[in-house]
Structure 1
Amino acid sequence: MSQVAASAPGKLYIAGEYAVVEPGHPAILVAVDRFVTVSVDFAPQLHPADDAGGRIFSDRYPSGSRDYARASGRIVPENGELDYVISALATVDELRAAEGIDPRAFDLHITSTLDEADGRKYGLGSSGAVAVATVDAAAQACGLELDRRDIFQAALLATIAVSPNASGGDIAASTYGGWVRYVSPDRAVLRQQAAEHGAAWTLRHGEWGSCEVLPLGAPAGLDLHVGWTGAPASTNALVAHVRRGDSRAADEYARFLAANSTSVEALTAAWTRDPGRVCEGIGEVRRQLRRLGEAAGAELETPLLATLCEVAEEHGAAAKFAGAGGGDCGVALAGPGVDAAAMRSAWERAGVRALDLRPTEPTTTGGV
C-alpha cells in the first residue's frame, strides 16, 4: 500500500509565453484542476539501500514501467536516457545525501488527469507537474523537509538537466498553485553550477538572480474559460523556430520582449482592481504574439485558435492562445456581463471543445 503521495496541478499561460524563455522576463500563469499524482511504495530491503534502485510505473512508458538504479551513490536510469522523473529522483537524492539522511529504496506509481484518456494532450504542462510531484513525494519518502521554494528550485534543477531551455513557468505554477507571476532565472548558469557543485549547493548558493514567483490571487471580476482545439503543439519546436537568428525575426523578437515586459507589468498592476484594463492587456498580448509569429513565419495562432479568440471577443471576453500556440488551448477571461454559456456553446459549434477547468487554490501565500 502506498504510504506517501504528492500531487501537482497542470498550468496554462495567461501572458508571457515565449518571452519567459529569456532570463529575467516575466509571465503570468494559472494552475488548473487537473493533476499528476506520484505515490510511493517502499520496497523490501533485500540488499543494502546504498545499492538499491526501484521501479517507476506510468502509462507514459511504452512498457508501463521503467527501472532506476544506483551507480557510485547516484540515481541513474537502469537503461536509456535521463527523463524528468529520474532526474527529479536524482536531485532529491543529492539533497538527502547532503543532509546525512540514509537512503531508502522505493517504487513510484504515477497517474495523471492532465491529458485525454486516449493520450491526447491538452498542453497543460505534464513535464513540470510530474517533476514537482516527484520531488515532493520523493522528499517525503526520504524524510527530507522541503518548503515550497525548495520544491520549486529542486524541480527546476531536475528539469533543466533534461531540457536546458525549459523556462520553469510550468514548475512555478505547479508548485505554488493559483495565479502566479513568474520571472525566469538564467537556467544555463544554474545548470552549469549544478553540474560543477551539485544540486544541494546550487539550491542554497546558486545564482537565482531575477527568479521570482509571486502569487497574484484571482483577477478581479473575471472568470477563466478554456477552449481546446484538439490539435497538439510542439512547444520546443515552436520556441526554437521563433528564436532563430535571421534579421527580421530577431528584430521583432527584441521588440516583442520589450513589449511583453511592459504588458505583464501593466497586467500585474491592474490584476486585482481593474478588470477592464486586464482585458485590454490580454488583447494587447494577443496582438504581440501574432506579430511575433508573422515575423518568424510560424503559425502560432492557428485558424481555430483565432476563431476561439474572435468568438470570445464577440461575447465581450478577452482571449488569446495559451502557451506555445500552434494548437492546444486558448484562454478567455470573462466578466459578469458575458454570457459564458453562449460563448462556450459557440466554441463548440466552431469545433473548439470547452474544457471544464478551474484555477486551483494557491498552496501558499508566499513566493520566491
Structure 2
Amino acid sequence: MQARSYQIATPGKLLIAGEYAVTELNQPGIVVAVNRYINVSIAESNAQVLDLPQLGLNQVKWYYVNGKVTFSISDNRLRFMQQAMQTVYAYLTEQQITIQPFQLSVTSELDDSSGIKYGLGSSAAITVATISAILRLHKDETLDKDIIYKLAAISHFQTQGNGSCADIAASTYGGWLHYTSFDGSWLLKQLKTQCNISKIVDGNWASLHIEKLNLPSSLVFCVGWTGKAAATAPMVTRIQQLKENNQQVYQNFLTDSQKAVETIVNGCKTDNAKLMLDGIKQNRNVLRRLSNQAGVEIETTLLNQLANLAEDYGSGKSSGAGGGDCGIAFVEGEENVVKLNQVWEQIGIKTLDLMPSINGTRIIKHE
C-alpha cells in the first residue's frame, strides 16, 4: 500500500490597519492573507524526519515521547514547529487518534532571496501549516479552519505568551479579514489550569471576531518593501511603557484607532473607495501620533516617503509594527498603480507583486 502524502500551502499576511491596538481586548484590526506561501509536504514514513533546506536543516529527527516533542538538534528557529507539533499531538491523543510517524519538509516564499524577512508573518504561517499538515494526515476529512485557528493560537501562546493572533487568522482563513482578538489573559489562564486542549478548543472564545471583507471594487492594493527588516520587540516594549505610564494618552490612541478601522470597514462593506481611503489616512495619523508619544520610529523616513507618494494616487501607510518591512497603498485605477510603482522605485522602494490569497491554508496535492 502506497504511503499517503499531502502538500499544504499556507499564506503569509500583511496587517492593514489597527496596528498595536489590535492586541488589546475588543480592539479591531484589518489583516489580509497574501499570495506568498509556506509550503509543507508531509508523508507517512517511519523515518520521522524534518527537512528545512532554506535554513540548512536536513534530516532532523523528531521524537514524541510521554507527551513531549523533541528534535535531534537544538535550534531556536524550530521552536514554533516544535510547539505546533506538541499542541496538535495533544489534541489528537485526546481525540483517541493514534499518532502516525511521518516525514515533513518545509519551504518558504515569505522572505527575500537574500534571507531578509519581508514581514509577512512567517512564524504564524509555519505554525498554521504544520498543524494543517499533521491534522490532514491523521484525519481523513476536510480541514476544519476553526480547529486549525484555535490550535495555532494555543501553540503561539505556549511559545510566545502574547499577541493578537491576527496573523494566524489570515494564514488560516485567507482573504481580507475584519478581526478582533480573543481574551489573551483567558487563554493563558486556561493553559495553566486546563490540561485538556480539546476542551479549550471547544470552549467559548469570547470577543473573538473574524469577518471576511471585500475591498472596494475601484481600489487596487499595492505593497512596497523598504529593504530593511523591522526589529519589533523594542518597539512593542516602548508602546507598553506608554500604556503603563500614560493611560489616558494610550486610551485616546485606542479610541482613535478603533474609529479609523471602523471607517475602513464601512468603506469595504458599502463599496465606498473614498471612505476606505479616508480610514487609511486616519489610521496613518493615529500611528504617527503614537510614534511621537511613545518615542518609537513606526514610520521610518522611507515609509514616510512611501506613504506621502501614495497620497498622490490614493492613500498609503506603514504595515504592521513599522520601523521597516513593508508599506501599503490603495489606489484607484491600474494606470495609477504603474505611476506609483515607478516613483516608489525611484526612491529605493521595491514593489512586491502581492495579491490577496482568498482561501487561506489549503491542500494543494494529495496522493
Confirm or deny: 8 A CA contact 2:11 2:360 kept in the other structure: no
Q: Cα 1:246–1:97, aligned 2, differ >3 Å: closer, same or farther?
A: closer
Specify which of 110, 113, 133 is matched with residue 114 of structure 1. 110
**How far apart are the structure 2 equivalents of 1:282 and 1:255?**
18
Confirm or deny: 8 A CA contact 1:223 1:334 kept in the other structure: yes
Confirm or deny: 8 A CA contact 1:153 1:203 kept in the other structure: yes
**How far apart are the structure 2 equivalents of 1:55 and 1:19?**
40
1:123-272 aligned at under 5 Å gives the runs 123-143=119-139, 145=141, 146-197=143-194, 198-205=196-203, 207-245=204-242, 250-272=247-269
Specify which of 87, 96, 101 is matched with residue 100 of structure 1. 96
Specify which of 17, 23, 37 is matched with residue 21 of structure 1. 23
Specify which of 268, 290, 293 is matched with residue 292 of structure 1. 290
**How far apart are the structure 1 equivalents of 2:37 and 2:207?**
28
What secondary structure, in the 3-state scheme, does the structure 2 residue paired with 1:345 have?
helix
Q: Verify: 1:73 aligned to 2:67, yes or no.
A: yes
Q: Verify: 1:335 aligned to 2:329, yes or no.
A: no
Q: Cα 1:90–1:337, aligned 2, differ >3 Å: closer, same or farther?
A: closer
Report percent identity of matched pairs: 34
Q: How many residues align?
A: 354
What secondary structure, in the 3-state scheme, does the structure 2 residue paired with 1:244 have?
helix
Q: Cα 1:105–1:204, aligned 2, differ >3 Å: closer, same or farther?
A: same
What secondary structure, in the 3-state scheme, does the structure 1 residue paired with 2:241 have?
coil
What secondary structure, in the 3-state scheme, does the structure 2 residue paired with 1:271 have?
helix
**How far apart are the structure 2 equivalents of 1:22 and 1:10?**
22
Give ranges in structure 2 of 5+ residues lacking alignment. Answer: 362-367
Residue of structure 1 in register with 2:364 after alignment: none
**How far apart are the structure 2 equivalents of 1:138 and 1:237?**
34
Deviations along 1:127-173, whole A, 9 cap, x unmatched? 11111111110101112654111111111111111111221010111
Specify which of 306, 323, 329 is matched with residue 320 of structure 2. 323
**How far apart are the structure 2 equivalents of 1:348 and 1:100?**
55
The one-letter code of the counterpart of 1:321 is S
**How far apart are the structure 2 equivalents of 1:152 and 1:118?**
31
Confirm or deny: 8 A CA contact 2:263 2:278 kept in the other structure: no
Q: How far 1:259 moved relative to its partner?
A: 1.2
TM-score by length of 1: 0.90
The one-letter code of the counterpart of 1:74 is K
Specify which structure has the bigger relative contact order, considering alpha-carbon pairs within 8 angstroms and separated by 6 or more residues.
Answer: 2
Give ranges in structure 1 of 5+ residues lacking alignment. Answer: 46-53
Residue of structure 2 in register with 1:12 after alignment: 14
**How far apart are the structure 2 equivalents of 1:204 and 1:229?**
42
CA RMSD of aligned residues (A): 2.1
What secondary structure, in the 3-state scheme, does the structure 1 residue paired with 2:260 have?
helix
Q: Verify: 1:88 aligned to 2:84, yes or no.
A: yes
What secondary structure, in the 3-state scheme, does the structure 2 residue paired with 1:121 have?
coil
What secondary structure, in the 3-state scheme, does the structure 2 residue paired with 1:34 have?
strand
Deviations along 1:69-112, whole A, 9 cap, x unmatched? 22213334455467111111111111211111111011210111
The one-letter code of the counterpart of 1:103 is I
Specify which of 288, 309, 312 is matched with residue 311 of structure 1. 309
Bigger mean CA offset, 227-236 vs 76-85: 76-85
What secondary structure, in the 3-state scheme, does the structure 2 residue paired with 1:100 have?
coil
Q: How far 1:62 moved relative to its partner?
A: 5.2
**How far apart are the structure 1 equivalents of 2:242 and 2:292?**
15
Q: Cα 1:246–1:159, aligned 2, differ >3 Å: closer, same or farther?
A: closer
**How far apart are the structure 1 equivalents of 2:248 and 2:62?**
45
The 4+ residue runs of structure 1 with deviation greater than 3 A are 59-67, 76-82, 245-251
Residue of structure 2 in register with 1:50 after alignment: none
**How far apart are the structure 2 equivalents of 1:137 and 1:246?**
39
The one-letter code of the counterpart of 2:138 is C
TM-score by length of 2: 0.90
**How far apart are the structure 1 equivalents of 2:113 and 2:7?**
22
What secondary structure, in the 3-state scheme, does the structure 1 residue paired with 2:117 have?
coil
What secondary structure, in the 3-state scheme, does the structure 2 residue paired with 1:261 have?
helix
Confirm or deny: 8 A CA contact 1:13 1:30 kept in the other structure: yes
